[in-house]
Amino acid sequence: MSSSSVPGTNVPPISFPGIASGIDYNAIITKLTSLTLQQNVGLNAQIATLNAANAELIKINNLLACVQTALGGLSDPSLFSSYDATSSNTAEGVASVVAGATPLSGTYTILGSTQATSTTITNNPAAGHSIYDGGSNNLPLTSAYLAVSPTAGTSGQGTITVNGVQVSYNVNVDSVQSILSKIQSQVQTATGDSSFTATLNASGEVVISSTQHPITLGSPSDTGNLLQVLKLSTAQVNNTSTSGTVTSTSNIGGINQAAAFNSTTNAGYVTAVTSGTFTINGVQISLNAANDNTAAVIARINASSAGVIASYDATTNKIVLAATATGPQTIVLGASGDTSNFLTAAGLTTAAGATTQVGAQASVTIQDPTGTTSTVYSNSNQVTDAINGVQLNITSFTTPYTISVGQDNSKLISAVNTFVSAYNAAITEINNATEPPAVISPQPGSSTTATSASVGGGVLFSNSDINSVKDELTNMITGFFGNPFKADSASYSSPVPQYDSLSAIGLQVSSSFSIVQTSSNGGSTSATNPVTTQSLQGTDGTLQPLDVATFTAALAANPSGVQAIFQGASSLTSQLGNYLGQVTGLPTLLNSGLTGILPIGNTAIIQGFENTNTDAITSIQDQITQITDNANQQANTLRTEFVSTEGTIAEYQALQAQLGGFFKSAGG
């Protein structure tokens, strides 16, 4: 036979134990060796327990490092200098605290306000041709001074529907007058409405009316853009059940922003625009009359750093320049080096008849917390002088509203809650890891043969070292911080409340803890007692949720006292940060710098616990190696002796066979 499981190092690849003696000595050796190796079972269990303990220590160390991170966030001084400004009517004004400012807390009433406006320059509409100029009203649409270029099919055909009657036209042949005549004639004929008219008034506006029917314009089947050309697509239609009228939004002639400056109509400009440059607020803009149109130049102005927004309203035939900044600022047009006449041709200069509307300042009339009323002015709608340290964005005003200014505790409360969560997570993990097991014994009179057993318990329940860390943390968290109050100090008679502990500002430790235990079942024949969890008075070391009301009141009464608890030489962040650095081996990074740095050569507390376990594991492994070596040596010795005995027995058996043969021969 051959077996790799047979103990010892002198087992031949193939062996037939007990051939001579009939004894399976390998089975005997295996049994004896297994009894020797049985001690390794307990030792391996110890190693597993120690490895589990080290894994738990690493987990606790990581959780305590998270507490250090939370302490770093809690050490930020800006948490105690954060303010908030809230408007009671955000539709009229929005308030915000200026970064780094320390405003005066209180309630401010906005009694009135006006918005700042921008300076604007509106061109002279006469810079663009009227539809009547040069008989343009009787010229084909493609040659007329139209503010909107006509579009139609490839042959110039188009249709327009008025009062349900579709009228055809040709932009290459028909003029504004002829088209209006067609519309009037065909609608009158088709509807029998002799009161229907379609005419061009003295202002160059199309007027369509009827005293017998409402006016309807357009149809999904229409082609071309004649409604836009006649400026009727956005005009107000005034209808009753029996009549109607509609008038173009303005003269249908004028500047055509889509046509090139050197087109046959000069893009509708009375004075042809020339190539070159012009200047706005010292910024030079260029144009090419052959390639550019009004829309392109407007886009070029808006893309420049001239500080104005240019726009063209085809509805009103106006070009407007508006300063990007509000307030009574000047828009400077032109410079001595200009080579293009665009500003003059477009009617944007004063000499060309432009209209300037100077921008206005914003104003805010405010009543401060003392009842004093004042009015402040600003070139911008972002007013920063009405409330010190607060920016007020004015949007409108209808009724008075209030701005409430006060310290913003939300970030501080969030930082405290982050610390509490991290701290409780670490303490809870330590509590679970060190929880003792509950011993369960068979009930008296039980018919079973069960023995005592345990349930629950943490992997570190017998580790007094980690319990000492928890005790130290609990003592620190319930201790004194900041500037401890002394009865014999000058502050004793001070009306300002003094704070020197977390409990004084609304951060209490838990008031109970739980244990796992067994309870008797009386006469029950059950093999085990039921397991219960009992709550006892005391503390498990965790912190209760922050009492926000108490905390806020403490901040209002003595903000510097509360700050001293969290920040400074004797603060929570300093003391706890320093200790945790020694526990985890990681320095705590506070706003003031690193703390808890271990001297060179020193070992962190938890790392020391791990090292002790690791040393114990190494020692146990050495024991296992020694026991295994001894077992193999024992097996080797026994096997050598058995093999030797088998050889002796085999010799005797051979001699016996020889003697038997001899006596048989002699007797024969």
Using CA atoms, how far residue 398 sits from 108, 373, 394, in Å, is 17, 18, 12
The structure tokens listed for 104 are 């005066």
Sequence spans of domains, the chain: 83-116+361-407, 148-247, 267-357
433 vs 24: CA distance, rounded Å: 50
The structure tokens listed for 545 are 């949720």
- Provide the pLDDT for residue 597: 86
- Spatial neighbors of 64 by CB under 8 A, at least 6 apart, are 426, 580, 583, 584, 606
- Helix (H/G/I), strand (E/B), else coil: 204: coil
- Spatial neighbors of 384 by CB under 8 A, at least 6 apart, are 98, 378, 390, 391, 392
- Provide the pLDDT for residue 496: 67
Measured torsion, CA atoms of residues 221, 227, 228, 234, in degrees rounded to the nearest 10: -110
Q: What is the CATH number of domain 148-247?
A: 3.30.70
277 vs 281: CA distance, rounded Å: 13
- Helix (H/G/I), strand (E/B), else coil: 142: helix
- Provide the pLDDT for residue 51: 92
86 vs 94: CA distance, rounded Å: 7
- Provide the pLDDT for residue 442: 59
Q: For the chain, how big is the Rg over CA atoms in Å?
A: 50
The residue among 266, 320, 296, 272 whose CA lies nearest residue 145 is 266
The structure tokens listed for 393 are 């964005």
Amino acid (1-letter code) at residue 397: F
Provide the phi-psi class of 281: left if phi over 0, else alpha when psi is between -120 and 50, else beta: left
The residue among 313, 314, 333 whose CA lies nearest residue 323 is 333
**Sign, CA torsion 262/266/267/273:** positive
Using CA atoms, how far residue 419 sits from 414, 423, 424, 585, 625, in Å, is 9, 6, 8, 19, 48
The residue among 210, 244, 217 whose CA lies nearest residue 232 is 217
- Provide the pLDDT for residue 91: 95
The pLDDT averaged over each successive group of 10 residues in the chain (668 residues) is 58 61 75 83 88 93 96 94 93 92 92 97 95 96 95 89 97 96 97 97 97 96 96 96 96 95 95 97 97 97 98 90 96 96 97 97 96 96 94 95 93 96 96 82 55 69 88 93 58 65 93 68 50 73 94 91 92 94 94 87 90 92 88 82 78 79 73
